[in-house]
Structure 1
Amino acid sequence: MITLIAAVAENNALGKNNQLLWHLPDDFKRFKNRTSGNYIIMGRKTFESFPKPLPNRTHVIITRQKKYTSENCIVVDSLGKAIAICPKDEELFIIGGGEIYNQSIEIADKLDITRVHNAFDADTFFPEIDLNKWELTATEFHTKDEKHQFDFSFQTYIRK
């Protein structure tokens, strides 16, 4: 199963200047719980936005840079190659960025979205979710509080 996992603003914003636009600790916890022990596929810029590789996950990095390497990570030059090297019987997670989401949304089985209930100035966006192709099967609203500057909802979409 191919799952796209992302925190997405109301205007589909993902980030700006290779940085997230919000800090939501509960979203980080959910991301860690969902992706730990699995393969995670990402573009090079997304990988480079992390201070270090994320623990307990197999990192698959997509880049056009021919000589790009990163210790303990798998580096490939296409989405197809990234998916091909992942185990077929396990859920794999595509974690960004915008270009990788655009390439993969048509082949994904599931969307794990943290919808941030605000609009942001951004330079990277998640593709539009076509409700003719996707069914919202679960949603869990969270109100902003002292640790979370914005209201947000955990949303699960399954391909129709």
Structure 2
Amino acid sequence: MITIIAAAGENNELGKDNQIIWHLPDDFKRFKALTSGHYIIMGRKTFESFPKPLPNRTHIVITRNKNYSVPDGCFVVDSIEKAIAICPKNETIFIIGGGEIYKQSINMADCIELTRVHNTFDADAFFPTIDSTKWELVSSQFHDKDEKHDHSFAFETYKKII
């Protein structure tokens, strides 16, 4: 199963200058819980936004740079199709960004795990619009803002309509 996992603002904002534009500890915890032990597929800029590879995950980086170097245990490919092809079959794989990779993979995915951040932001990267004729919202769990979270948000799960 191919699952897209992302956090996006009300206008589908993802980030600015290759950085996340909010701090939501519960979103980080959910991301870690869902993706640990799995293959994660990302674009080069997303990979470079991490200080080091995320523990307990196999990283596949998509880039057109044929000489791009990654640490041991990570893989480099030049397309979303090649990234998916090297993942184990019959396991959930996660597409983790960024905006261009989400756009290329949304029609291939089976599930979207979206943290909807209830605010609007200045951004330069965006999540594709979720087409309600192709995707059904199957669960939504609201979290109000609190001392650890500057914004309210909801964990939303979408399944592809077959």
Matched AA of 1:17: D
- Structure 1 gaps of 5+ residues are none
Structure 1 CA distance for aligned equivalents of residues 102 and 157 of structure 2 = 16
The question of 1:155 aligning with 2:156 is answered yes
Q: Where does residue 13 of structure 1 map in the other structure?
A: 13
Structure 2 CA distance for aligned equivalents of residues 12 and 71 of structure 1 = 31
The question of 1:56 aligning with 2:49 is answered no
For each residue in 1:116-144, what CA deviation from the matched residue of structure 2 results, as whole angstroms up to 9, or x when unmatched? 00011100000000000000000000000
Query: TM-score if structure 1 supplies the norm length?
Result: 0.99
Structure 2 CA distance for aligned equivalents of residues 71 and 100 of structure 1 = 21
- Structure 2 gaps of 5+ residues are none
Partner SS state of residue 120, structure 1? coil
Q: Where does residue 135 of structure 2 map in the other structure?
A: 134
Q: CA deviation at 1:40?
A: 0.1
Matched AA of 2:144: T
Structure 2 CA distance for aligned equivalents of residues 109 and 129 of structure 1 = 13
Structure 2 CA distance for aligned equivalents of residues 7 and 159 of structure 1 = 18
Partner SS state of residue 141, structure 1? strand
Matches within 5 A, 1:62-101: 62-72=62-72, 73-101=74-102
Partner SS state of residue 146, structure 1? coil
Q: Where does residue 30 of structure 2 map in the other structure?
A: 30
Aligned-residue identity in percent: 69
Structure 1 CA distance for aligned equivalents of residues 152 and 26 of structure 2 = 11
For each residue in 1:92-151, what CA deviation from the matched residue of structure 2 results, as whole angstroms up to 9, or x when unmatched? 000000000000001100000000000111000000000000000000000000000000
Q: Where does residue 102 of structure 1 map in the other structure?
A: 103
Q: Where does residue 43 of structure 1 map in the other structure?
A: 43
Partner SS state of residue 55, structure 1? coil
Q: CA deviation at 1:39?
A: 0.1
Query: TM-score if structure 2 supplies the norm length?
Result: 0.98
Structure 2 CA distance for aligned equivalents of residues 153 and 21 of structure 1 = 16
